[in-house]
A and B are shown apart, each in its own frame.
Chain A
Amino acid sequence: METRELICIGCPLGCPLKVKTEQGQAPEVTGNTCRRGEVYARKEVANPTRIVTSSVSVEGGRQKVVSVKTREDIPKEKIFAVIEALKGVKVQAPIQIGDVIVSNAADTGVDVVATRKCPVLNDLL
Chain B
Amino acid sequence: MYDVVIIGAGVSGCAAARELSRYQLNICVIEKEEDVCCGTSKANSAIVHAGFDAPGGSLMAKLNVEGNERMEELSKELDVPFRRNGSLVVCLHEEELPGLKTLYERGLKNGVRNLRIIDREELKELEPNISDDAVAALYAPTAGIICPFALNLALAENAAVNGVEFWFDTEVTGFGRGEGCWNIHTSQGEFKSRYVVNAAGVYADLLHNMVSGRKLHITPRRGEYCLLDRSAAGFVTHTMFQLPGKYGKGVLVTPTVHGNILIGPTAEDLEDREGTNTTQAGIQELMKKAEATVKGIPFHEVITSFAGLRAHEDGHEFCIGEVEDAPGFIDCAGIESPGLTASPVIGSMVADIIYRLEQPRLNPDFTGSRKGILDPKTLSTEEHAALIRTNPAYGNIVCRCEMITEGEILDAVNRPLGAKSLDGVKRRTRAGMGRCQGGFCSPKVMELLAGERNIKISEITKSGGASQMIAGINKDR
* Chain A residues engaging chain B, CB cutoff 8 angstroms: 54-55, 65, 83-84, 86-88
Complex-state Cα separation, A47 to B156, whole angstroms: 66
Q: Which residues of B contact A (CB under 8 A)?
A: 474-476
Besides the contacts A54-B475, A65-B474, A88-B475, what 6 more A-B pairs have beta carbons closer than 8 Å? A54-B474, A55-B474, A83-B475, A84-B475, A86-B475, A87-B476
Top 10 nearest A-B pairs (CB, nearest first) are A87-B475, A83-B475, A86-B475, A55-B474, A88-B475, A54-B474, A84-B475, A87-B476, A65-B474, A54-B475
What's the minimum C-beta distance from B225 to chain A, rounded to whole angstroms? 38
Point out the residues of chain B lying under 8 angstroms from A55, CB to CB: 474
Query: CB-nearest residue of chain B relative to A65?
Result: B474
Minimal Cβ-Cβ distance residue in A for B473? A57
What is the CA–CA distance of A54 and B475 in the complex, to the nearest angstrom?
10
Q: How far is the CB of A56 from chain B (nearest CB, A)?
A: 9
Q: Which chain B residue shows the least CB distance to A55?
A: B474
Chain A residues whose C-beta falls within 8 Å of the C-beta of B476 in the assembled complex:
87
- Complex alpha-carbon distance, A88 and B474, angstroms: 9
Task: For the complex, give the distance between the alpha carbons of A86 and B474 in Å.
Answer: 10
> Which residues of A have CB within 8 Å of B475?
54, 83-84, 86-88
Question: How far does the Cβ of B471 sit from chain A's closest Cβ, in whole Å?
Answer: 16
* Alpha-carbon gap, A51 to B192, bound state (A): 65
User: Chain B: which residue is nearest A89 at the CB level?
Assistant: B475
Shortest CB-to-CB span from A25 to chain B, Å, is 42
Assembly CA distance A54 to B473 (angstroms): 13
- Kindly list chain A residues whose C-beta atoms are within 8 Å of the C-beta of B474: 54-55, 65
A88 to B475, CA, bound (A): 8
Minimum C-beta distance from A3 to chain B (A): 38
Complex CA–CA separation, A80 to B419 (angstroms): 40
In the complex, residue of chain A having the shortest beta-carbon distance to the beta carbon of B475 = A87
A55 to B473 alpha-carbon distance, docked (Å): 11
Task: Please name all residues of chain B whose beta carbon is closer than 8 Å to the beta carbon of A65 when the two chains form the complex.
Answer: 474
Query: Which residues of B have CB within 8 Å of A84?
Result: 475
**What's the nearest-Cβ distance from chain B to residue A114, in Å?**
16
6 contacts between A and B (CB under 8 A): A55-B474, A65-B474, A83-B475, A84-B475, A87-B476, A88-B475
Which residue in chain A gives the minimum CB-CB distance to B474? A55
Bound CA span A14–B106, Å: 70
Task: Output the nearest chain B residue to A88 by Cβ-Cβ distance.
Answer: B475
Distance between Cα atoms of A87 and B476 in the complex (Å): 8
For A83, list chain B residues within 8 Å (CB): 475
In the bound complex, how far is the Cα of B474 from the Cα of A84, in angstroms? 11
Bound CA span A25–B476, Å: 45
Residue of B nearest to A83 (CB): B475
Nearest CB on B from A55, distance (A): 7
Residues of chain B within 8 A (CB-CB) of A86 are 475
With the chains together, A102 CA to B223 CA distance in Å? 56
Closest chain B CB from A39 CB (angstroms): 31
**CB nearest to A84 among chain B residues:** B475
Task: Report the Cα distance A47→B467, complex, angstroms.
Answer: 44
Instruction: Considering the complex, give the chain A residue whose CB is closest to the CB of B477.
Output: A87
Q: Bound state CA distance, A51 and B73, in angstroms?
A: 65
Distance in Å: Cβ of B99 to nearest Cβ of chain A: 63
